[in-house]
Structure 1
Amino acid sequence: MTTDDTLLEIHTNALAGMGSTPRHFGRMAAFIADDGHPDEDLSEETFRALILKGDNELVALWTRHLNNWDFALEAAWADGASPRTRARRDAAYVKLALGTDLRKVLDTVVPISEIPAPTIVTKDFHDWYTPERAAARSFYWRAYEEKLQSKGWSAASIASLDEASRAVVERLTDPEQIAARQAKGLVVGYVQSGKTANFTGVTAKAIDAGYRLVIVLGGTLNMLRAQTQRRIDMELIGQENILRGADPDDLDSLVGVDYVGDDDPDWPKFVSHGGRPSLRGAFDIERLTTRDNDYKTLATGIRALEYEKRDQTRPLHDPANLHHAAARVMVVKKNKAVLSKLVKDLKQIRSLLGELPTLIIDDESDQASLNTSNPKKWAAGSKERTAINDQISQLLGLLPRAQYVGYTATPFANVFVDPSDAHDIFPTDFLISLPRPADYMGVQDFHDLDSPVPEAERDITNSQEKAHVRGIYADTYDDDRLQEALDAFLLTGALKLYRTEHGVTDADFRHHTMLVHESLKTDDHAELALRINTMWHESGYSSSAGHERLAALYEKDFAPVSAAQAPALPTPATYGELRGYVSDARQRITSGGRPVIVVNGDSDAYFAALDLDFHGPVPVWKILVGGTKLSRGFTVEGLTVTYYRRTTHQADTLMQMGRWFGFRHGYRDLVRLYIGREEAYGRKQTADLYERFEAICRDEELFRKQLAKYSGLVDGQPRLTPAKVPPLVAQHLRTLPPSAKNKMFNAELVAVRSPGDWIEPLAYPTDREKLRHSNEAWRPVLGALDNDPSVFVHLGGDRGSFTRYAAKTAVISHSQLLNTLDSVTWGRPDLVAPHLEYLRDPGELGCATDDWVVIAPQTSDGDSAAGSILGSVPLTLVKRGRDEHGVFNRLSGVAHRQSAERIAGARALSDDDPFATQLHQPRRGAVLLYAVGNQADGSLDGLVAGGAVAPDKVIIVAAIIPATDPAAKPVPYLTFRTIDSKKDSPVIDVS
């Protein structure tokens, strides 16, 4: 053993001996070293010199421990210093008793991590999962940690995962606890951002701690279930538990064993525990499902779910039994038949279930797991459940020690579950928002959210949109950029091959794919695939014309973007250097005779027959055409070019379709998104597909920001608990609700935030006494109107076309308008309340209006009449049609709106409309006020007597437009809360 190896062993043992608390390193090292070990080898000078020399093993060792201390949520030794701060690192250095020079060197090689902490919203919980207990039983977590290191995970990323997974496990119930208790939580990640890594880490720590049955609900197709099964088998369960004593060199003993030999080329990369865990002081894991087989009625009988107790006089959850029993793990499909078999089997061992600590992991928990039956259709006193939700509810009922943890990137539907339903999946105990991983490409990496760079000055050096997004502006075959997208796919494949041969070895270039998503209809997919296949073969990629087209695209697009976004990666200076690689890429894409694969089947047999195995021995270089089946859970490896034109009407569905989100190691600069933009589909849209993604990105980021803002403690108590989370759900785009209607039966609208948008209640009372009371509310506003009318202008579409109208006006304060609206009797107060909530809110997202211009248009046509109302100046009466329920079909006149919009800042000012321009001020809104003759009282003339109109024969109505600043940051359009069936709807004061 060399001197350096001896030192490494000393450092390793010294740091291991410290556990979760840093201690005087010099003393620990001296105690561990042999008496004859030279003192100079233990000096800080030697330590510092080894690090400066680049001793990778020593650096890795110290990186792991410093990161663990940096990330620790609880660190009594740190004197209150927060995780990931200079103060926390310095506190560790003080405890280690390291000198200034050594600290500087360690800071250089182990910088303080900038990965943010997870946001945790929680109820009070028993803190049973102490650092000491976690360290004492960590067999499977350590194996998983080593696996991640071998995959190239940085020490900081592993420490972040350690922190986030610990945050979940410590909020579960202590598996050794005498009293049975269920905890339910929700973990929110980003689309394709590593949620599986987190729940694998949670599973490792939970079974180390004592959970002995783990049920992973892994998607709605066997393809997705098998994908999850393989990941857990490879990174956690490991070779020895899969083999179960079989000899890997004896083919006869391997019958029925998946992965081994040529069955999976990555078998050598599966975790190895160095022998059966039960023979190494730990416990085995028995798989109740395999890669190829979902859960079935147990072939070996119920014995497969029986647990051997060392002490028959004690329950299974007693430590004397628990930590010697094998764990059972199953990955099951969200399928009624499969889950029914599991429920049936569990019922046969009901007596044991009360002793069995169980963990249920629900991947994509907002898909299939929710109860989407309509409560309005339930029979009185009953609760109906949809199929999968019913099976999950039965599992929770059978397993009193079961802990339920849902995982999703789109959590809005989950937080709208009734929190009082004890057998449903509302996250009553905790909600954890995972940090955005390093190197992840998400929605914000394709949009310039709140960029300080003016739009006119944005280019590929300072704009994500300019670098990665290519708009599709037409709906014709002649100008839909599909040919360009295919060219981009071929070029990026060639660039990956070029980089592989020029020293880029740490990138993931094995697979190379393009995704085309235009429709959910399978007939459309077949037609589109045929078109792409034909276009590919007619592209002339081996001809001079084809190379000229590729060269033009490379020089216009890829060369400059790569130079700006990835200057450190090798990129050809000219297309000529790339041309040879284009031929190789083309051959890979067309291998097997077809460049296109359609992915749209509904059955497992369909997916099994597809030539699309990202884990097989042959790399996948293909163009995938599909719809819904490619939009959730399915990971498209190597995705580089996306051609996307399908829209949808729910934010969570749209977000899940963003398969172009994820990790793009070594080719981030090559990613291109071709997406439908304004005037696509042959018509102008209020928000195009790209803008809709931006809106849901803002919904998501605001939700996370609000969670972080309210997740702290006040006087030692949680400021925000999971039951109070729903009011933080917001909707920036009025046409894009957070989730599908059948997932929002339990959602109640709280506020409609509408700067620059019209608020126009249409329902008013028909009862005369209520009508009189409602009109009385307007008396102060009516009394403020000027007697002399002002002239406003409506500008038409043609140059010089305009219409003048007279109106009586007043300027009133915001509080005066609020008092009036609060006193008005509305025909449908439930529809008006969310608007009033917004107008009342003085907070950051509330109404930014200080005062209001009231505009009462006056007409002079032959059917008009005028009179004083409640002592006001004479006002014109107007006719408006309404139904028997008192609901008008419209109120405000189209010609009247333009001037009001100019005053409120929602329309550009115009010299042609001078009075509106003069009245405009920042933070000023506008009100269009009308006196509508009650249709039950005959003609308008007949309503006027002695120059006055009786207050029960007229209806004062208003259309309101709050102030807006077109340059201001977009605010959410809607916010919601959950209806609690047993108590008042939960709310949180967000002011």
Structure 2
Amino acid sequence: MAGSKPKRLARAMDYQADDMPGAESFASEEDFRDALLFAAPVSGGQLTDMWSKQLRAWDHIQDPAWSTALPCTDERRTDIYSALGLEPSTRKLLDAAAPVIKVPGPVVISKEFVPWYATHQGKSWYWPMYAELLSRKGWSDEAITDLDMATESVVERLSDPTRPEAYQSRGLVVGYVQSGKTANFTGVIARAIDAGYRLVIVLGGTLNLLRDQTQRRLDKELVGRENILRGASEFESDYADDPEWSQGKFVEFGSAPSVLGGFDIHRLTTRYDDYKSLLQGIVALEFEKQEPALPLYDPQNLHRASARLMVVKKNKLVLGKLVKDLKKIRTPLAEIPVLIIDDESDEASVNTSRPKPDTERTAINEKISQLLTMLPRAQYVGYTATPYANVFIDPSDAADIFPKDFIISLDRPKGYMGAADFHDFDLDESDEERTYANSNELAHVRDVIVADDDDTGPLRRAMDMFVLTAAMKLYRAEVDGLGPDAFRHHTMLIHESNWVESHRELLGRVTKLWWQAGYSSAEGHARLRELFDTDLAPVSAVRAEKVSVPTSFDDLQPYIGPAVMNIGADQQPIIVVNGDKDLETGTADFDRRSIWKILIGGQKLSRGYTVEGLTVTYFRRRAANVSALMQMGRWFGFRKNYRDLVRLYIGREEKLSTGKQEIDLYRAFEAVCLDEEAFRDELKQYSVMVDGMPQITPAQVPPLVSQHFPLLKPTTPNKMYNARLVEVQSPGRWEEPTAYPTSPVDLRHNTRLWLPELESLAAEPIQFTYDTKKGLSFPALVGTVSATHMCDLFEALKWSAPSQFEPHMTYLRGVTTRALIDDWVLLAPQHAKPDKRIRLDSTVREYCWFERDRRRGPLFGAISDPKHRVIAHYIAGGTGRSDDPHTNVLCTERRGVVVLYPMVERDHRDVAANSGVLEPGRVVMGFGFVAPEHAHYDGARRVRFATIDSSRDTAIIDS
């Protein structure tokens, strides 16, 4: 059964009986069923577990010769059972024991590669142990299968470590902030060293805090006790003072892996010690060869050699020591299969110097490039949640880290609380039907609008919520019987600045607030009662899911005192984490002890570092680009049994670190989230194979990074010189340009282009039902416009940033000249109430206008209303047939939809509201469109793009 494909069960059982006379075996399939049904619990459990693992391995293997069905489908499982020759009753039993887990698998953009992993000769040792550990930790079968598929997708695209010709594969894995990327690269390392990679270098962030956290995680879950001790006593371990070490929570093998038929891992870095030259370097880096005449990568040497693992900080001096030591070892560097894992690969690793021949690389990028140059068999895999810097790298730079071989986008893990859980992407901002149940913003987000530096009201309210949620956790631990480790950590994060002096002032302010809060007084309890009744209780009543909620504050009150005592233990309720030894008030070491504290920090707490138990966040930190802002989202993560308690207190009127433009931090995060999802959607679209070949390769990934919030660039400007989009084919997809002009002359030009179309619409609006179950609808004026006329209108429009619309215009020209579209339905949504109506120029008719504002410069944020997009998708054939007859009557195969929004910005709203007449130069005619579902050409390809390639003077990689 351990082979690469399922074979007839009866034949295998006969073979086992013949090969092992007297041994216990199954004589028939009926006996096998009896064993599954009636065997003793222990042996029956082992049998079921064995078959579950094997069936799921067959379920998700990619493109097997014995099945044409997609992985993880009922059809694939049927093929497996047919190959095994199983009867229906046996199939039913196995389905009950190991149901098909239909995980989607990661999205992969990849070059063609030589398959090798499925048939490699290495010993599977560390990956099975790691998967078993995750199962014991409570990971579901679905989550482990998902990780199995994702890690295999990475490792199979690395070069075969036994391959005679050296090849460097470089890839990028895109996860979500605090979503389990470490688990993924731990699994990748386990698989890679099982397959034969013998030197693993993990670049673990730019701070000791992050490096140490990564080292411990790998030691605990992968390396294991025996490899850590290497014959020493338990008390000599660098984890001797770690509670989880003494509790037996580090993985154990029973003996040294090499004694048990596996191979050892030698650590070249330890819990608190980064790479050190000479002492831990040269000798430890020497690789033993069982067959000296053969190269190390030969299977006879490779699979009998120990692996080396180091977790190295991204620091010029540390990496310099490693480069220096590698040059001294006797083992030829060209023979060593090396895996380099770069955690937070968009930070520090990317070369931010302009790509000119006479320009030196940035320091850390230079050291990584040296490693890649001197280690021909090194494979580079970057991990990040903000991939923008990586995809803008010059692909022609052979010594850089552009992911030329693959980009893998991980699926959002189950139970993860991320950006979408704090925003209402599917609700209109003015929707009066918002409730705590259907609005994430109402449930979890609280505004921070500070009048002046002495205004401590919002901060005190956030601290009150922190105390209330602490009491709720104690209540649930007792009432629901969750146990003492259910809420081992409970934290609040205050993030206002990166500056140490600001932390000093903030520490004084927060300390004063804490000791003056009066949490044991009648006044304090009255304040907590009010917050419980108006905020915590109503949210938890509809969002608590399977955990308990007190019926009143009186039921929660007995837990307030213990909660305050937990937070204020040792008279230090606050921990400052910023590297200033004179200022730091404690250690945020979540591994050593339970932490119920308020954390104040900046850079150390804004990238990569996991703040455990984070429940309340007070965020007023400024950021100058999308990557930095997203990485500060420490409130993302897994919140088991307390999702409903999570609160984000966020600044709504803050200034950037440069310039005078005020921004709304919450709206900035919302825009960033839209950008991220748009990028993932683009990757998913282009991951679809065309005629069995990749639609695009990573070197051809266009600059598909949207900017819903232009004040924040996708990444720092010096990482953005490799980008130009030429054409985007978008059949059946909503597209929404936002770079409208600012000058009254251009606005007047655009408005007068659209006015004849508005005037031609039907006199009475049609009521479109977008949710038939709830009977929700909206009115809109409707008309049709010929394809050529609409294309001419689009061509004539003025833009402040023409490059934003030009890729769409190229496509619209293409479908029009190819006669792939007959006409467009023009929808002008109207308000249900008779307000916000204006006449334009000398028009007799009145039209509804919409309040929309630019985020900065020419670009607006989101313009459209989700309910309008629903109808547009139906008419253009993007989402099947509607239940609304008014919608269906407009549906034809070659018809697109344009939804028009006359927008009035803040400066002109009083005039519009009071007079009902507005000059066309004060109106922005915004629109979105959906082209017909079948309006595409060039096969299944959806994109043409240009990527600047510095290897040619005016080079464009055009596809």
TM-score relative to the length of structure 1: 0.76
CA contact (8 A) 1:259 1:267 kept: no
CA contact (8 A) 2:536 2:645 kept: yes
**Structure 1's 202 and 679: CA in aligned 2 closer, same or farther, altered over 3 A?**
closer
The equivalent residue for 2:537 is 559
- 1:743 correspondence with 2:671: no
Offset from partner CA, 1:856-876 (integer Å, 9 cap, x none) = xxxxxxxxxxxxxxxxxxxxx
Deviation of 1:678 after TM superposition, in Å, equals 5.9
The equivalent residue for 1:371 is 351
Between the aligned partners of 1:354 and 1:37, the Cα distance in structure 2 is 49
- 1:915 correspondence with 2:890: no
- 1:836 correspondence with 2:825: no
Offset from partner CA, 1:843-894 (integer Å, 9 cap, x none) = 9999x998999xxxxxxxxxxxxxxxxxxxxxxxxxxxxxxxxxxxxxxxxx
Deviation of 1:657 after TM superposition, in Å, equals 0.5
1:88 is aligned, of 65, 69, 76, to 76
User: Following superposition of structure 1 onto structure 2, how do residues 538-617 of structure 1 map, counting pairs within 5 Å?
Assistant: 538-601=516-579, 610-616=586-592
1:651 counterpart letter in structure 2: V
The equivalent residue for 1:71 is 60
Between the aligned partners of 1:519 and 1:845, the Cα distance in structure 2 is 51
CA contact (8 A) 1:645 1:676 kept: yes
Between the aligned partners of 2:752 and 2:653, the Cα distance in structure 1 is 43
Q: What SS is found at the alignment partner of 1:152?
A: coil
Offset from partner CA, 1:417-463 (integer Å, 9 cap, x none) = 00000000000111111111110111011112224998321212222
Q: What SS is found at the alignment partner of 1:839?
A: helix
Between the aligned partners of 1:110 and 1:233, the Cα distance in structure 2 is 31
CA contact (8 A) 1:758 1:960 kept: no
Deviation of 1:967 after TM superposition, in Å, equals 13
Between the aligned partners of 2:250 and 2:183, the Cα distance in structure 1 is 15
**Structure 1's 839 and 301: CA in aligned 2 closer, same or farther, altered over 3 A?**
closer
Between the aligned partners of 1:323 and 1:267, the Cα distance in structure 2 is 33
Offset from partner CA, 1:639-666 (integer Å, 9 cap, x none) = 0111112232311111101000011112
Q: What SS is found at the alignment partner of 2:838?
A: coil
Between the aligned partners of 2:752 and 2:26, the Cα distance in structure 1 is 96
**Structure 1's 684 and 819: CA in aligned 2 closer, same or farther, altered over 3 A?**
closer
Deviation of 1:715 after TM superposition, in Å, equals 2.2
2:623 counterpart letter in structure 1: T
**Structure 1's 548 and 52: CA in aligned 2 closer, same or farther, altered over 3 A?**
farther
Q: What SS is found at the alignment partner of 1:334?
A: coil
Between the aligned partners of 2:844 and 2:387, the Cα distance in structure 1 is 44
1:725 counterpart letter in structure 2: V
Between the aligned partners of 2:583 and 2:326, the Cα distance in structure 1 is 30
Query: Quick one: percent identity of the two aligned structures?
Result: 49
Task: Name which of structure 1's ranges 64-73 and 312-321 shifts more when overlaid on structure 2.
Answer: 64-73
**Structure 1's 53 and 535: CA in aligned 2 closer, same or farther, altered over 3 A?**
same
Deviation of 1:709 after TM superposition, in Å, equals 1.2
Between the aligned partners of 2:470 and 2:603, the Cα distance in structure 1 is 26
**Structure 1's 410 and 88: CA in aligned 2 closer, same or farther, altered over 3 A?**
same
**Structure 1's 621 and 818: CA in aligned 2 closer, same or farther, altered over 3 A?**
closer
- 1:535 correspondence with 2:500: no
CA contact (8 A) 2:33 2:93 kept: no
1:964 counterpart letter in structure 2: F
- 1:481 correspondence with 2:458: yes
1:668 counterpart letter in structure 2: R
- 1:982 correspondence with 2:910: no
Between the aligned partners of 2:445 and 2:901, the Cα distance in structure 1 is 38
Deviation of 1:756 after TM superposition, in Å, equals 5.7
**Structure 1's 982 and 155: CA in aligned 2 closer, same or farther, altered over 3 A?**
same
CA contact (8 A) 1:214 1:358 kept: yes
Q: What SS is found at the alignment partner of 2:493?
A: strand
The equivalent residue for 1:202 is 188
**Structure 1's 177 and 74: CA in aligned 2 closer, same or farther, altered over 3 A?**
same
Deviation of 1:588 after TM superposition, in Å, equals 0.9
1:151 is aligned, of 114, 129, 137, to 137
Q: What SS is found at the alignment partner of 1:329?
A: strand
The equivalent residue for 1:260 is 240
Deviation of 1:67 after TM superposition, in Å, equals 2.9
Q: What SS is found at the alignment partner of 2:843?
A: helix
User: Following superposition of structure 1 onto structure 2, how do residues 669-688 of structure 1 map, counting pairs within 5 Å?
Assistant: 669-677=644-652, 688=664
User: Following superposition of structure 1 onto structure 2, how do residues 236-255 of structure 1 map, counting pairs within 5 Å?
Assistant: 236-248=222-234, 254=236
2:213 counterpart letter in structure 1: Q
Q: What SS is found at the alignment partner of 2:394?
A: coil
TM-score relative to the length of structure 2: 0.78
Task: Name which of structure 1's ranges 353-362 and 468-477 shifts more when overlaid on structure 2.
Answer: 468-477
- 1:355 correspondence with 2:343: no
Offset from partner CA, 1:80-130 (integer Å, 9 cap, x none) = 111222212332333344444554565456443243210111111110111
Task: Name which of structure 1's ranges 335-344 and 280-289 shifts more when overlaid on structure 2.
Answer: 280-289
- 1:277 correspondence with 2:253: no
2:807 counterpart letter in structure 1: E
2:636 counterpart letter in structure 1: F
1:293 counterpart letter in structure 2: D
Instruction: Give the structure with higher Rg (CA).
Output: 1
- 1:289 correspondence with 2:269: yes
The equivalent residue for 2:927 is 964
CA contact (8 A) 2:113 2:157 kept: yes
Q: Cα RMSD over matched residues?
A: 4.3
Deviation of 1:733 after TM superposition, in Å, equals 2.1
**Structure 1's 507 and 737: CA in aligned 2 closer, same or farther, altered over 3 A?**
farther
CA contact (8 A) 1:754 1:962 kept: no
Question: How many residues matched?
Answer: 829
Deviation of 1:561 after TM superposition, in Å, equals 2.3
Deviation of 1:330 after TM superposition, in Å, equals 0.7
The equivalent residue for 1:632 is 607
- 1:314 correspondence with 2:294: yes
1:149 counterpart letter in structure 2: S
1:717 is aligned, of 671, 687, 693, to 693
1:94 counterpart letter in structure 2: S
Deviation of 1:982 after TM superposition, in Å, equals 2.3
**Structure 1's 966 and 923: CA in aligned 2 closer, same or farther, altered over 3 A?**
closer
1:139 counterpart letter in structure 2: W
Offset from partner CA, 1:130-167 (integer Å, 9 cap, x none) = 1x437x52111122122212211112211211111111
The equivalent residue for 1:876 is none
Deviation of 1:750 after TM superposition, in Å, equals 5.8
2:509 counterpart letter in structure 1: R
Between the aligned partners of 1:833 and 1:382, the Cα distance in structure 2 is 31
CA contact (8 A) 2:198 2:336 kept: yes
**Structure 1's 833 and 564: CA in aligned 2 closer, same or farther, altered over 3 A?**
closer
The equivalent residue for 1:869 is none
User: Following superposition of structure 1 onto structure 2, how do residues 512-911 of structure 1 map, counting pairs within 5 Å?
Assistant: 512-601=490-579, 610-616=586-592, 618-677=593-652, 688-748=664-724, 755=737, 757-759=739-741, 813-816=789-792, 832-842=802-812, 909-911=837-839
1:649 counterpart letter in structure 2: A
2:564 counterpart letter in structure 1: R
**Structure 1's 524 and 30: CA in aligned 2 closer, same or farther, altered over 3 A?**
same
**Structure 1's 52 and 678: CA in aligned 2 closer, same or farther, altered over 3 A?**
farther
**Structure 1's 756 and 231: CA in aligned 2 closer, same or farther, altered over 3 A?**
closer
1:758 counterpart letter in structure 2: Y
Offset from partner CA, 1:154-188 (integer Å, 9 cap, x none) = 12211211111111111111111111111110011
Between the aligned partners of 2:83 and 2:555, the Cα distance in structure 1 is 56
User: Following superposition of structure 1 onto structure 2, how do residues 162-561 of structure 1 map, counting pairs within 5 Å?
Assistant: 162-248=148-234, 254=236, 257-260=237-240, 265=245, 268-299=248-279, 302-349=282-329, 352-375=332-355, 378=356, 381-451=357-427, 455-476=431-452, 478=455, 480-501=457-478, 502-505=480-483, 508-561=486-539
Between the aligned partners of 2:723 and 2:584, the Cα distance in structure 1 is 39
Between the aligned partners of 1:849 and 1:365, the Cα distance in structure 2 is 47
Offset from partner CA, 1:765-790 (integer Å, 9 cap, x none) = xxxxxxxxxxxxx9xx999999xxxx
CA contact (8 A) 1:724 1:986 kept: no
Offset from partner CA, 1:4-31 (integer Å, 9 cap, x none) = xxxxxxxxxxxxx344433444664576
Q: What SS is found at the alignment partner of 1:121?
A: strand
1:577 counterpart letter in structure 2: D
**Structure 1's 506 and 429: CA in aligned 2 closer, same or farther, altered over 3 A?**
farther
Q: What SS is found at the alignment partner of 2:342?
A: strand
Offset from partner CA, 1:617-646 (integer Å, 9 cap, x none) = x31110011222211011101101111122
CA contact (8 A) 1:493 1:512 kept: yes
